[in-house]
């Protein structure tokens, strides 16, 4: 057993700011009280140990409070990707056998396949207003804490089960590498349904730093001006956008640390960081390890992913695959009530990422073993999009390949063989896909699959499609 890390921080730094919003600031003493009351309310209403609790909400103080309260009653928090379609949400909730669901007002129009779905705001406010009871129980490193869906490197997101130890040691190792203390503020710029967003929460609480929660519709560049941010987590796409604003560049220079993840840094962006003296740190991580695995120490290493952080282990297999284990390793993937442990005989997790260690001991990630590509920090699997397209009655065959994009790194393009032999209608197909897959997976470009690439009985060459796409885009540009 260990002391509840929020309670301990509140005891040591009761007046330090814990949550910053545009409306008010909340101290650690106030945050602790709100979490304790909500935990008591949850417990009184039957939300107890090992129950799986789905959460559908954008980042908010209410969601942060609920996540910590669920940890305290030893229930398992399952933050859902708000980009999922209604059918995807219900499918994921069924997949992990959720016991109850809490949703924010924005998602009140969703028809859940289960009756036990309740408004989040009402739950939190009723606890704060009416419940004077307090709930405190020692946490254990072994207790199941979260189920966080991966970005979908195998085509469909996998439900990763984490013990509290994953998040605790991930935050501890990160804070040993990137100093964080009371008075600092980390902007919650990543969604809490991503492991990177949950990691920000744990790092800040462990260190006694503040979590700055911007309004859902607030532009990132405005949030930088609004809050006294010292630490920031971004994907390269977000940094690219901020660099277009002079005021944002000034704020970025003032940061103590800017942690970048999600995909490799474009060389032009690295050069911008060096030229502007922005304290950027590149990192490599994954849902299965609770977020960060490696991190750089300065801008000269930005084209690498840095060195291994404490409490993690890493090795490169003979085939060049990155293998991971350590105190931050997850428990496995959930398949209903069963937990599948995808580890080899020595306990290593095989990431399917290819990499190498350079002469300075820094990790260089080469790429995936399969067709996966990353767009704006989000994993995209071509076969998933192809399957969705092929459910359209007029689509005979679909091939999806990535193309280079200045802002997002890469975006998907689709080659289609249509039943009527006509060119694909992008407007019709985009509308069709909106109820099938997350919006960021919808291709930007739809092209007819040339007859010369369609050979009966043989697969269409993806490399030939990519070559043709580059030629087509070149013609368009000219």
pLDDT tens profile 130-146: 666 677 778 899 999 99
Residue 220 shares a structural domain with residue 303: yes
Instruction: Please report the pLDDT score of residue 267 as a whole number.
Output: 61
Instruction: Please report the pLDDT score of residue 153 as a whole number.
Output: 38
80 pLDDT band, cuts 50/70/90, is: very high
Residue 278 shares a structural domain with residue 410: no
Report the CATH number at residue 441.
Answer: 3.30.300.30
Cα torsion for 266, 270, 276, 277, to the nearest 10°?
150
Instruction: Please report the pLDDT score of residue 265 as a whole number.
Output: 66
Q: Is the per-residue pLDDT at 478 higher than 50? A: no
Residue 283 shares a structural domain with residue 394: no
Q: Is residue 224 within 8 Å of residue 242, measured between CB atoms?
A: yes
Residue 402 shares a structural domain with residue 337: no
Which of 352, 368, 384 corresponds to the end of one domain? 368
How many Å is the Cα radius of gyration of the chain? 23
Q: Is the per-residue pLDDT at 208 higher than 90? A: yes
Q: Is the per-residue pLDDT at 154 higher than 60? A: no
Q: Of 8 and 386, which is predicted with more confidence?
A: 8
In this prediction, what percent of the chain has a pLDDT beyond 90?
68
Instruction: Please report the pLDDT score of residue 457 as a whole number.
Output: 39
Q: Of 361 and 241, which is predicted with more confidence?
A: 361
pLDDT digits (tens, 9 = 90+) for 266-288: 566 778 889 999 999 999 999 99
Residue 342 shares a structural domain with residue 435: no
294 pLDDT band, cuts 50/70/90, is: very high
* Number of domains composing the chain: 2
* Rounded Cα gap, residues 139 and 162, in angstroms: 14
Calculate mean pLDDT across residues 364-391: 85
Residue 357 shares a structural domain with residue 393: no
Domain that holds residue 292: 5-368
Q: Is the per-residue pLDDT at 53 higher than 70? A: yes
Question: Residue 430 contacts by C-beta under 8 Å, 6 or more apart in sequence?
Answer: 442, 443
Residue 350 shares a structural domain with residue 466: no
Q: Of 417 and 362, which is predicted with more confidence?
A: 362
Instruction: Please report the pLDDT score of residue 475 as a whole number.
Output: 66
Residue 130 shares a structural domain with residue 261: yes
Instruction: Please report the pLDDT score of residue 386 as a whole number.
Output: 86
Which of 320, 346, 368 corresponds to the end of one domain? 368
Per-chain mean pLDDT for the chain: 90
Residue 242 shares a structural domain with residue 300: yes
Instruction: Please report the pLDDT score of residue 160 as a whole number.
Output: 97
* pTM attached to this predicted model: 0.79
312 pLDDT band, cuts 50/70/90, is: very high
Instruction: Please report the pLDDT score of residue 311 as a whole number.
Output: 98
Instruction: Please report the pLDDT score of residue 458 as a whole number.
Output: 52
Instruction: Please report the pLDDT score of residue 351 as a whole number.
Output: 94
Residue 320 shares a structural domain with residue 386: no
In this prediction, what percent of the chain has a pLDDT beyond 70?
93
β-strand partners of 418: 395
Residue 81 shares a structural domain with residue 39: yes
Report the CATH number at residue 141.
Answer: 3.40.50.12780
pLDDT digits (tens, 9 = 90+) for 438-456: 999 999 999 999 888 875 4
Q: Is the per-residue pLDDT at 148 higher than 90? A: yes
Which of 353, 368, 383 corresponds to the end of one domain? 368
Residue 26 shares a structural domain with residue 102: yes
């Amino acid at each position: 057993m260990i002391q509840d890390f929020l309670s301990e921080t509140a005891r040591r730094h009761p007046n330090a700011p814990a949550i910053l919003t545009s409306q008010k600031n909340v101290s650690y003493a106030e945050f602790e009280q709100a979490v304790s009351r909500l935990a008591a309310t949850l417990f009184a209403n039957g939300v107890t140990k090992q129950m799986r609790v789905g959460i559908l909400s954008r980042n908010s103080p209410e969601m942060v409070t609920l996540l910590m309260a669920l940890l305290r009653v030893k229930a398992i928090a399952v933050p859902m990707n708000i980009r999922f379609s209604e059918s995807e949400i219900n499918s994921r909730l069924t997949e992990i056998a959720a016991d109850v669901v809490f949703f924010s007002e924005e998602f009140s129009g969703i028809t859940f396949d289960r009756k036990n779905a309740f408004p989040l705001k009402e739950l939190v406010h009723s606890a704060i207003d009416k419940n004077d009871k307090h709930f405190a129980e020692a946490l254990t490193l072994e207790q199941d804490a979260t189920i966080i869906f991966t970005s979908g490197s195998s085509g469909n997101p996998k439900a990763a089960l984490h013990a509290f130890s994953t998040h605790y040691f991930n935050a501890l190792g990160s804070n040993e590498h990137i100093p964080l203390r009371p008075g600092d503020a980390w902007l919650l710029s990543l969604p809490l349904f991503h492991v990177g967003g949950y990691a920000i929460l744990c790092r800040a609480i462990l260190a006694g730093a503040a979590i700055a929660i911007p309004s859902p519709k607030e532009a990132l560049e405005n949030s930088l001006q609004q809050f006294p941010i010292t630490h920031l987590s971004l994907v390269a796409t977000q940094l690219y956008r901020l660099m277009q604003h002079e005021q944002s560049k000034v704020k970025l220079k003032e940061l103590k640390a800017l942690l970048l993840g999600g995909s490799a840094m474009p060389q032009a962006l690295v050069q911008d960081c060096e030229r502007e003296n922005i304290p950027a740190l590149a990192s490599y991580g994954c849902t299965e390890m609770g977020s960060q695995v490696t991190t750089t120490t300065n801008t000269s290493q930005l084209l690498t992913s840095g060195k291994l952080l404490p409490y993690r282990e890493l090795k490169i297999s003979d085939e060049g695959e990155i293998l991971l284990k350590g105190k931050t390793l997850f428990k496995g993937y959930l398949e209903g009530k069963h937990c599948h442990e995808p580890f080899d005989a020595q306990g290593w997790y095989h990431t399917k990422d290819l990499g190498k260690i350079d002469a300075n001991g820094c990790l260089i990630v080469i790429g995936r073993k399969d067709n996966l590509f990353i767009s704006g920090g989000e994993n995209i699997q071509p076969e998933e999009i192809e399957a969705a397209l092929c459910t359209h009655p007029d689509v005979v065959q679909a091939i999806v390949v990535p193309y280079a994009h200045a802002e997002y790194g890469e975006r998907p393009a689709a080659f289609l063989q249509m039943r009527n032999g006509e060119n694909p209608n992008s407007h019709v197909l985009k509308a069709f896909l909106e109820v099938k897959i997350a919006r960021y997976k919808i291709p930007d470009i739809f092209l007819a699959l040339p007859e010369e690439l369609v050979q009966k009985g043989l697969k269409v060459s993806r490399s030939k499609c990519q070559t043709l796409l580059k030629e087509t885009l070149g013609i368009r540009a000219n």
